[in-house]
Amino acid sequence: MHTNTNESAENYLETILILGNSHPVVRSVDIAAELGFKKSSVSVAMKKLREARQITVTPEGFIYLTDSGRELAERIYERHLLLSSWLISLGVDSEVATMDACRIEHVISAESFEAIKKFVKN
């Protein structure tokens, strides 16, 4: 599957958010293990996210989302949760629904997502 840079960055931010909820600290090695990527690939991505001011990294290697990074991660994660539960409610297998939600969450417009959100909540 081809991933654009934006989608890749969003996946990393979402992963940091999720790991941050279950780990006392998040490190590159945790992200690599979670996503099944090489630590070197994760290090390159963390450098880009740091340059984009979406994360900060302590001297010990602990990764924290900045306010803008957290905002983006939470938006993507909300889309992920809502889209996957919606697809499951339509009868889609949960594994397929989760994989599809991962793809859709990056490309759906805000307008379409809000319409689905409104529909699901009614």
Dihedral (Cα; 55, 59, 31, 88), 10-degree rounding:
-40
Query: How many other CB atoms sit within 10 Å of the CB of residue 69?
Result: 23
Structure tokens given for 113: 């997502």
70, 17 in Cβ contact below 8 A?
yes
Reply yes or no on whether the pLDDT at 12 is more than 90.
yes
What's the whole-model pTM score?
0.86
Range 5-70: architecture per CATH: Orthogonal Bundle (1.10)
Question: Given CA atoms 39, 40, 42, 47 in this order, what sign does their dihedral have?
Answer: positive
Query: φ, ψ for residue 103 (rounded to 5)?
Result: -80, -45
Averaged pLDDT, 113-119 = 93
pLDDT-based confidence at residue 4 (cuts at 50, 70, 90) = low
Residue-wise pLDDT tens digits, 80-114: 999 999 999 999 999 999 999 988 988 999 999 99
Topology (CATH) of 74-121: Diphtheria Toxin Repressor; domain 2 (1.10.60)
Q: Where in the chain is the domain with CATH 1.10.60.10?
A: 74-121
The pLDDT assigned to 1 comes to: 39
Question: Looking up tokens 């969003």, which residue turns up?
Answer: 10
